[in-house]
A and B are shown apart, each in its own frame.
Chain A
Amino acid sequence: MNKIKLPILAVAFIAILFLTGCWDNNDVSDVAIVTAIGIDKLEDGRLAMTWQILKPEAAQPGMEGGQAGKAYTNYTAAGLTLNEAHKELIRISGRKPFYGHIQVILLGEKLAKEGIAEFIDIFERQYEFNQTVKVLLTKDMTAQELLEAESDLENLPAIHLMNLVEANIFTGKVIDLPFFKLVMELEREGRSTVISALSSKSKNDKSTIKEMQIEYAGIFRKGKLIGYINTVQVQSLLFIANQIRQTLITTEHPLSPDKQISVEIVRGQAKREVSLSEGRIKGIVYVDALARIAEVHETQYSLKPDIAKIIESETAGRIKQNLVTLIDMAQDNYGTDIFGFGELVYKNEYGFWKSVKDDWDEYFVHMPIDVFVDVKIKRAGLIDKPSKAR
């Protein structure tokens, strides 16, 4: 029996080899590597999807001869769903897009206003999407326009955009929002999402990314864009959300108000709490920051401990002022809980949450929130006072 078996097995093996295809074997040079996606809503209600497709031969740094030109090309296609747009793209470009290496997803303003939650389904459902891709909004322009902008720093605008977001760890003024976090935040009880937005400095020139800035962040309520906050407010938001890695606070020097002093926060730690007393919810925010003095324009006072104390309290005051402004703005102007107090109520006071679940935002508007800020200056750099011109 074994004598018959072996040839049969061999034939079967060879047959399998030649008869079957390599169904999912897509060579990397045959697919279109998408580096960025922009999604816009068109006037007729269809979705337009813009792909920034890599042209590897031009993106390759080591290759000789720069004649290849731009390292990317943009394609736009539209459809009722994003998948339709995707198929449309294949129809016009003739290549299968590969989404494993998207760097940023840009959401157009119009789309954001009409609600984003449903349109990100594709990124979760399809297997090859990169879940850690950064998400950004575009303000006053479409995502397509933004993707057309060139970068003078990087080969690929997508990389440039991603770097803009990643640099947040130094500035503390941009919300670094990976895609999966966006999904989590949208889904959380009692929390509204904030996404950083790119806008153009001047209305007319949109040709390079240099002209763009992440100046605002869009506030979402139930997945719909309702307004923007500026970078200072983003900084405050990040303070409250405990996401500050490094950021700079500049204030007047407390002892000579015409001179500026910059304090670099090296670690900000925040704690939010809610307390339920007599059927009322009260929110508390504690911010503890470690700082170092980054720049002093004041030449008179040397940085003695007591001076440092004064600077500490001045900085704390500035931060607190910023936080309170933001909280007031969220409560009065937008009327939505971007800080996640509702989430805290849901988690810690579940019984109470059930009674306010459906109109939490209205409850939030009237909720008292206390802010406590404490700054500790740990060091002051290599010198004491700046040099003084005599």
Chain B
Amino acid sequence: MDVLQKMLSWLPQLLDGARITILMTITATCAGVILGTFLALGKISRNVVISKLCSAYIFFFRGTPLLMQLYFLYYAVPMFLPALTINSRFLAAFIAYGLNSGAYCAELIRAAIQSIDPGQSEAARALGLTYGQTMRLLIIPQSIRRLVPPVGNEFIMMLKDVSLVSIISLGDLTKVTRSINSSAATPLVYIPSMIIYLIITAFFTFVFNRVESHMAKKE
């Protein structure tokens, strides 16, 4: 009973951390999807320069650790280029996570677009639709349906990646947990903390499943 009481007393702090974790996950994944859409279209573009640029971007952000990107953006960039100093921790982390997620989402979106039978766009072009119209009216709406499961996956990955923000002193759920662990000198706090993570994951899994079945109905 004593243990339960202790866990309950940590709850307000943990929930405060969870708020940052959730907020960061949602905003960064949204930014990632938007950025990823442009990167994906850029990568499959017939313009060689744009295509190569987008490929290079994706290669860089998928090829280096997120932790290092965060460190680099927050600590290293301001040392080289003082004009690019970001003083808000949340904003800095949001930019790092958004840029990183953009690269991953780009690959998901590219795969979704390319999974649509090329015969469809050929038919659309034969009917006189432009490339833009074909994409906007035909390919993208269908890709979105196929995108829901992988984006849901990306979202849950992001939820846990956000735990890296402790390095820039931003109090997400993991950081709060670790602080309580050391100040209360008990690792017990990991239990309620992991339960909170599971609850968040369960909730968003549920949401994404609902969206998925809703879209399937429309098909």
Decide whether A and B assemble into one complex: no
Please list the residues of chain B having a beta carbon within 8 angstroms of any beta carbon in chain A: none
Please list the residues of chain A having a beta carbon within 8 angstroms of any beta carbon in chain B: none
